[in-house]
Amino acid sequence: MAITASKSNVVKGGIALLVVYAGFSFLGSGKEDIEDAVFQEPVVARADQGSFDISIIESGILNARRSVTLASDLPSNRAKIIFLRQEGATVKPGEVIVKFDPAPFAEDIEKLSAEISDASAALAQAEEELQLTIQQGRASTESMLHNVEVAQLKHKNLTQAELPLRLTKSKNDLQAAKQNYRLAKKKAKSMKELLEQGFTKRREYEQAKAAISESAAELGLAKQQEKLLREMIAPGEIRQSELRLVELKRKVAEQKKVNQHKLALKNTAMIRLDHRYDLLKKSQLSAKALLDKTIIKAPVPGFVVYKTVSVQGEMRKVQVGDSVWQHNGFIVLPDMSEIITDLKVRETDIAQLEVGQTASIRPQAYPNLLLTGRVETIGTLASGKDEEMPRFLVRVAINDVDSRLRPGMTARTRIQTAKLEDVVRVPVEAVFYSGDQAVSFLWKMNKAEAIAIEIGPSDGQFVVVTKGLSGGEKLLLHDPRKVLGGEPAS
| pLDDT per residue as tens digits for the range 145-200 | 999 999 999 999 999 999 999 999 999 999 999 999 999 999 888 888 888 888 88
Helix pair angle (234-292, 163-197), 10° resolution? 170
Separation of alpha carbons 302 and 313, rounded Å: 30
Alpha carbon 287 to its chain's center: 19
**Res. 40 pLDDT band, cuts 50 70 90:** low
**Res. 20 pLDDT band, cuts 50 70 90:** very low
Provide the CATH number for the domain formed by 72-101+294-324 in this structure. 2.40.50
Q: Specify the pLDDT at position 197.
A: 86
pLDDT (average), residues 103-132: 94
Alpha carbon 463 to its chain's center: 57
Q: Specify the pLDDT at position 402.
A: 87
Tens of pLDDT, residues 391-449: 999 999 999 888 888 888 999 999 988 888 999 999 999 999 999 999 999 998 888 99
Report domain extents, the chain: 3-66+339-484, 72-101+294-324, 106-291
> Which of 416, 421, 464 is CA-nearest to residue 51?
421
Distances (CA, A) of 479 to 17, 464, 469: 8, 19, 18
Q: Is the pLDDT of residue 35 over 80?
A: no
pLDDT (average), residues 209-236: 92
pLDDT (average), residues 478-483: 80
Q: DSSP characters for 104-151? A: HHHHHHHHHHHHHHHHHHHHHHHHHHHHHHHHHHHHHHHHHHHHHHHH
Helix pair angle (202-228, 163-197), 10° resolution? 160
Tens of pLDDT, residues 302-358: 889 999 999 888 999 999 999 999 999 999 999 888 899 999 998 888 888 999 999
**Res. 488 pLDDT band, cuts 50 70 90:** very low
Mode of pairing for the β-strands spanning 295-297 and 96-100: antiparallel
Provide the CATH number for the domain formed by 3-66+339-484 in this structure. 2.40.30.170
Q: Specify the pLDDT at position 485.
A: 46
Give the chain's largest Cα–Cα span: 218
Across 20-34, 46-60, 221-235, the highest mean pLDDT is recorded for 221-235
Q: Specify the pLDDT at position 374.
A: 96
Separation of alpha carbons 85 and 263, rounded Å: 60
Q: Is the pLDDT of residue 67 over 50?
A: yes
Tens of pLDDT, residues 445-473: 888 999 999 998 887 788 999 999 998 99
> Which of 98, 81, 76, 84 is CA-nearest to residue 325?
76
Separation of alpha carbons 454 and 420, rounded Å: 16
pLDDT (average), residues 74-84: 92
pLDDT (average), residues 362-387: 87
- Average pLDDT over the chain reads 86
Q: Specify the pLDDT at position 39.
A: 45
Q: DSSP characters for 33-85? A: EEES-B-SS--EEE-EEEEEEEEEEEEEEEEEEEEEEE-B-SSTT-EEEEEEP
**Res. 489 pLDDT band, cuts 50 70 90:** very low
Give the phi and the psi of residue 317 in degrees, each rounded to 5. Answer: -85, 150
> Which of 324, 343, 469, 332 is CA-nearest to residue 414?
343
Separation of alpha carbons 417 and 425, rounded Å: 17
Separation of alpha carbons 358 and 203, rounded Å: 163
> Which of 276, 262, 278, 330 is CA-nearest to residue 97?
330
Alpha carbon 452 to its chain's center: 71
Q: Specify the pLDDT at position 312.
A: 85
Q: Percent of the chain at pLDDT above 90?
A: 66
Under 8 Å between Cβ of 34 and 450:
yes
Separation of alpha carbons 351 and 360, rounded Å: 19
- Taking only Cα atoms into account, the Rg of the chain, rounded to an integer number of angstroms, comes to 62
Paired with 458 in beta bridges are 3, 463
* Contacts with 481 (C-beta within 8 Å, 6 or more apart), sequence order: 24, 34, 488, 489
Mode of pairing for the β-strands spanning 462-467 and 454-458: antiparallel
DSSP-assigned letter for residue 389: S
Residues recorded for the chain: 490
Separation of alpha carbons 423 and 406, rounded Å: 40
pLDDT (average), residues 213-237: 93
Q: Specify the pLDDT at position 395.
A: 95
Whether this model's pTM surpasses 0.75: no
Tens of pLDDT, residues 250-309: 999 999 999 999 999 999 999 999 999 999 999 999 999 999 999 999 998 888 999 999
Under 8 Å between Cβ of 431 and 85:
no
Q: Is the pLDDT of residue 30 over 60?
A: no
Provide the CATH number for the domain formed by 106-291 in this structure. 1.10.287
Cα pseudo-dihedral 377, 378, 384, 388, rounded to 10 = 140
> Which of 424, 431, 430 is CA-nearest to residue 51?
424
Q: DSSP characters for 12-34? A: TT------B--EEEE-TTS-EEE
